Structure 1
Amino acid sequence: MTYLDFEKPLADIEGKAEELRVLATKGEGVDLEKEASALDKKADDLLRDLYKNLDPWRKAQVARHPNRPHCSQYIQALFTEYTPLAGDRAFGEDHAVMGGLARFNDAPCVVIGHEKGNDTKTRIHHNFGMARPEGYRKAIRLMDLAHRFHLPVITLVDTPGAYPGKGAEERGQSEAIARSTEKCLQIGVPLVSVIIGEGGSGGAVAFATGNRVAMLEHSIYSVISPEGCASILWKDAEKMREAAEALRLTAQDLKKLGVIDQIIPEPMGGAQRDPQAAISAVGRAIADMLGEMDGMSPADLIRSRREKYLAMGSRTLAS
């Protein structure tokens, strides 16, 4: 288990309990198991205290935790008959975006998501979940496919943002993001989106302009990263805590603002502590959101989606 900075006291307690258990297995003390159990209780209490009222910056740290379940794990656990589709039919394949045909609860669908990777090799392969233009154009192709065959679209968002490299800009990064966002608004099928970790900038909006949008309890969703915001506003990236507060990037804030529709509870200590429980909770939320749109016509789906986002703009202007 990787511990975050604010979890260091917890790491010390859990590490000590593990040491005592190792000694107990070697027969070096009859009371060691009892002492380890007492430390477990202390660790549980501390974990609850730490996660009871996380500030926005700590939530950002949890959202980026390397042990949180990633898109590939959700697809493997929640979908059957997953058939990946590759390439944008224009330039090439983008490994930061995975997607294809699958079955969810035995019903056919299209699933699309950002994949960050689990270790150094796979993170480099998937470009840390930062998509290039071909990734967004692949997503457009898949959404067109879903529209043509009347398949619901499920998107899993986990990206620091779109890749800002020179090649990506030369190949039309902003245009690809805009067209992917536009495509989300145009398709006549249910579109549900879940922010499973980071929802960074237009790179996230391009997948998350759905009929229903949910966020895991400790995920974040914002126009810019706290570090990027601090660098621009204060000329100091170390002011990321103040930036995280100002951005209103937590699921709780965004639910109040009407940007998202649902908050999915995480296991105590975050999704990284019990990935399977988090994945199951996301699966239930997806099923509920799709159920809410059961029987809606293509025209109604498009109209309700457009009205949802136009209403957000009206609320913002009114405030």
Structure 2
Amino acid sequence: GRDPWETVRTARHPGRPTTLDYLDSAFDGFVELHGDRLGADCPAVVGGLARLDGRHLMVIGHQKGHSTAELVARNFGMASPAGHRKALRLMRLAARLGLPVVTLVDTPGADPGVGAEEHGQAAAIAENILTMSCLPTPVVAVVTGEGGSGGALALAVADRVLMLEHAVYSVISPEGCAAILWPDRSAAPQAARALRLTAPDLCRLGIVDEVVPEPAPAAQADPTGAAELLRTAVTANLLPLLDVPPATLVRRRRERFRRYGARGPQAGTR
């Protein structure tokens, strides 16, 4: 019964735990790896090796920040082509080492600047999606805050896609949708309701596999409790994937995304 626009506002709250917060509390022994090996290190994407219940894995996520200075330094979590290439490098490294991949999605979208487009933003996102669709290792994605457009999908082609209770996931922001379909951006609350971008809506549509609960009233009120709930959910969803043969993982993952938009009872099956 929660209003979708209120959920959007909660997902954007500056006090909400970031990827680095979760890496410090929900995972163990995180070692950050930098750079895309082509000359840049996008601050909007962080990733590296970590442990979860004694198992080694690769964790990659968008990084925003809590203060204005942090948000600006991290480009508000909007990855450049270098950020997507860094994520791609880490996913390929995980595949070579036989490590599972966990991604934490929290971005309003990819960097929309002219410079990003000139340096191959669309191609970088497309390559991430292609690589994740055939990555021969388990992948679990968690939308922890905002999941916006192609910037989110570049880290969310996974065997299991989870969403925190007050996160949002959509092809476009409510403001962008309102500017296109309504007279102006002031219709954003109406657009939010029409987009079906909340976790319960997307779970019913078969886009998301599980809704991860948050401490009341939301994750920012109890970051430690939110981290524990995220840790439990990731572990529960990752363990069954560890014994699945790589070829089966890839086949099921591709089938999962090809069902998007299908009508009938098969649309929500897993």
Cα offset, 1:311, TM superposition: 1.6
Larger Cα Rg: Structure 1 or Structure 2? 1
* Structure of higher RCO (CA pairs closer than 8 Å, 6+ residues apart): 2
Question: What code does the residue aligned with 1:240 have?
Answer: A
Structure with a larger share of its residues in helix: 1
- Write the deviation string for residues 20-73 of structure 1: whole angstroms up to 9, x where unpaired: xxxxxxxxxxxxxxxxxxxxxxxxxxxxxxxxx321100000111111111100
Cα offset, 1:81, TM superposition: 2.1
Question: What code does the residue aligned with 1:201 have?
Answer: S
Partner of 1:171: 119
Q: 1:266 aligns with which of 197, 211, 214?
A: 214
Distance 1:94 1:57 in 2: 30
Partner of 1:302: 250
Distance 1:311 1:164 in 2: 29
Distance 1:55 1:305 in 2: 32
2:226 counterpart of 1:278: yes
Cα offset, 1:294, TM superposition: 2.6
TM-score (normalizing by structure 1):
0.81
Partner of 1:93: 41
Cα offset, 1:80, TM superposition: 1.9
Distance 1:227 1:269 in 2: 25
Cα offset, 1:315, TM superposition: 3.5
Distance 2:6 2:177 in 1: 16
Partner of 1:159: 107
Distance 1:245 1:118 in 2: 27
- Identity fraction in percent: 50
Cα offset, 1:211, TM superposition: 0.1
Partner of 1:234: 182
5+ residue gaps, structure 1, are 1-52
- Write the deviation string for residues 107-137 of structure 1: whole angstroms up to 9, x where unpaired: 1100000000121221111111010000001
Partner of 2:145: 197
Matching of residues 1-319 of structure 1 within 5 Å: 53-315=1-263
Distance 2:165 2:90 in 1: 28
TM-score (normalizing by structure 2):
0.96
Q: CA RMSD in A?
A: 1.3
Count matched residues. Answer: 266
CA separation of 1:290/1:180 partners in 2, compared to 1, >3 Å: closer, same or farther? Answer: same
Distance 2:174 2:261 in 1: 23
Runs (4+) of structure 1 moved beyond 4 Å?
none
Question: What code does the residue aligned with 2:120 have?
Answer: G
